[in-house]
C-alpha cells in the first residue's frame, strides 16, 4: 500500500495534525500533543509499504517497539537502507520531506519535537552545539536513555494522569539535551555545504556514463568517494544542482535522444540500452521530460 501526504497543499502544519487527520490516522493507536505545542507523541502500527512524511518544522524521532523489517529511507537526495529491530532509533531532520518504505509490519513510538524548542536549547547552552543532529539523521542508532524515556512517555500519555503533561514536557527536554550532546560525539554535518572534489565528481560521472544501461544505487556511487551515502547525496546535489537520481535520469534521456536520432535500434532496444526498465518506462519519462514520445521525436529528427 502507499500513503500520500497532503502537506503539499498546506493541509497540515505539524505531525500532530498529520497523524490525527491525514492518511496515517488509521494506523495511529494513541496520540498525545503537548499543551505548549513543543512536542507530539504517537503510537503507530505500520503495515508494509511506502509512507512519505511531509516537511514539518519538527524533528521526528522514531523508536521501533516491534518488528524486523527492512527500511529504505530517503531524503534530500540521500538514501539509507537498514534492518529495523526493537530498540532501534532513527531521526529525520526538520523541514525535510522523508520517504520511508518497509517490507514488513512495524510497531513504533514517534516523537515530534518542535524545531523552535531545539533552537532555544542551543541558544541557551554555554557550548557551541551543532545546528543539526549530525549523522544521527543518516543512520539508525541505539540510546538507552532516549529509549527508556520514550517508553515512559508512552506509559504516561496512556495513563492521562494530571501530572502526565509535566512529565512529558520534562522528558522531551531531556531527550532533546541527550541528542544534542550525542551529536557532539558523532561527527556532525559541516556548516558549509559539502561538495564533491573534482576527482570524485569525475569518477562518479564516469561510472554513471559507463553503466548507464545498468542498475546501480546511491551506495554504489558513494563507494567511489570517502562519504557516507547520506553525505554523498547532499554533496552531489551541491556540486551538480541535481540529486543523483535526477542526474542519472537526465543522462539516460540525453542518451536516448542521441540514439533515437542516429541508431536503427528499436525503441525497446534503446530503452534497455539506456537503463530503462521497459519501453513503457522510457515512454513515460521521455514524454514528461521532453514533451513528446520517443516515436514522434525520432520521426521529427529523421524528417
Note the pLDDT tens digit of each residue in 169-225. Answer: 889 888 888 887 776 554 433 445 678 899 999 999 999 999 999 988 888 898 898
All structural domains of the chain: 7-185 (2.60.120.280), 198-302 (1.10.10.60)
| Residue 193 or residue 262, greater confidence | 262
- The answer to which of 106-120, 127-141, 164-178 has the lowest mean pLDDT is 127-141
Distant-in-sequence, close-in-space partners of 193: CB < 8 Å, separation ≥ 6:
234, 238
Average pLDDT over residues 125-154: 72
pLDDT band, very low/low/confident/very high, at 129 (cuts 50, 70, 90) = very low
- Phi first, then psi, for residue 17 (nearest 5°) are -65, -40
Distance, in Å, from the CA atom of 39 to the CA atom of 155, rounded to the nearest integer, reads 16
Q: How, if at all, do strands 106-114 and 78-83 pair?
A: unpaired
| Residue 186 or residue 41, greater confidence | 41
The pLDDT, as a whole number, for residue 77 is: 63
- The answer to which of 20-29, 131-140, 203-212 has the lowest mean pLDDT is 131-140
Flag whether pLDDT at 32 surpasses 80.
Answer: yes
| Residue 141 or residue 144, greater confidence | 144
The pLDDT, as a whole number, for residue 114 is: 85
Mean residue pLDDT of the chain comes to 81
Average pLDDT over residues 47-51: 83
Flag whether pLDDT at 269 surpasses 90.
Answer: yes
| Residue 251 or residue 47, greater confidence | 251
Average pLDDT over residues 91-108: 83
Residue in 86, 88, 47 with CA at minimum distance from that of residue 66 = 86
The pLDDT, as a whole number, for residue 30 is: 83
Which residue do the cell numbers 508512552 mark? 154
Amino acid at each position: 500500500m502507499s500513503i500520500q501526504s497532503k502537506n503539499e497543499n498546506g493541509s497540515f502544519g505539524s505531525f500532530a495534525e498529520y497523524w490525527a487527520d491525514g492518511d496515517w490516522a488509521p494506523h495511529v493507536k494513541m496520540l498525545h500533543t503537548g499543551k505548549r505545542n513543543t512536542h507530539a507523541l504517537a503510537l503507530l502500527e505500520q503495515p508494509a509499504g511506502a509512507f512519505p512524511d511531509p516537511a514539518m518544522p519538527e524533528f521526528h524521532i522514531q523508536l521501533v517497539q516491534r518488528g524486523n523489517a527492512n527500511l529504505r529511507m530517503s531524503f534530500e537526495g540521500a538514501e539509507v537502507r537498514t534492518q529495523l529491530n526493537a530498540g532501534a532509533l532513527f531521526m529525520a531532520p526538520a523541514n525535510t520531506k522523508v520517504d520511508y518504505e518497509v517490507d514488513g509490519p512495524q510497531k513504533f513510538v514517534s516523537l515530534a519535537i518542535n524545531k523552535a524548542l531545539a533552537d532555544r536549547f542551543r541558544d541557551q547552552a554555554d557550548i557551541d552545539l551543532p545546528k543539526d543532529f549530525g549523522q544521527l539523521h543518516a543512520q539508525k542508532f541505539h540510546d538507552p536513555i532516549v529509549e527508556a524515556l520514550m517508553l515512559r512517555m508512552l506509559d504516561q500519555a496512556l495513563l492521562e494522569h494530571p501530572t502526565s503533561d509535566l512529565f512529558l514536557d520534562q522528558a522531551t527536554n531531556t531527550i532533546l539535551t541527550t541528542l544534542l550532546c550525542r551529536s557532539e560525539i558523532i561527527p556532525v554535518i559541516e556548516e558549509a555545504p559539502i561538495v564533491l572534489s573534482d576527482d570524485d565528481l569525475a569518477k562518479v560521472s564516469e561510472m554513471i556514463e559507463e553503466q548507464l544501461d545498468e542498475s546501480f544505487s546511491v551506495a554504489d556511487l558513494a563507494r567511489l568517494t570517502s562519504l557516507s551515502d547520506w553525505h554523498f547525496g547532499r554533496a552531489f546535489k551541491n556540486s551538480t544542482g541535481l540529486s543523483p537520481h535526477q542526474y542519472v535520469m537526465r543522462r539516460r534521456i540525453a542518451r536516448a535522444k542521441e540514439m533515437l536520432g542516429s541508431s536503427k535500434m528499436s525503441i525497446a532496444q534503446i530503452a534497455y540500452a539506456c537503463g530503462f526498465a521497459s519501453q513503457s518506462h522510457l515512454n513515460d519519462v521521455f514524454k514528461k521530460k521532453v514533451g513528446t514520445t520517443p516515436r514522434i521525436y525520432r520521426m521529427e529528427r529523421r524528417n
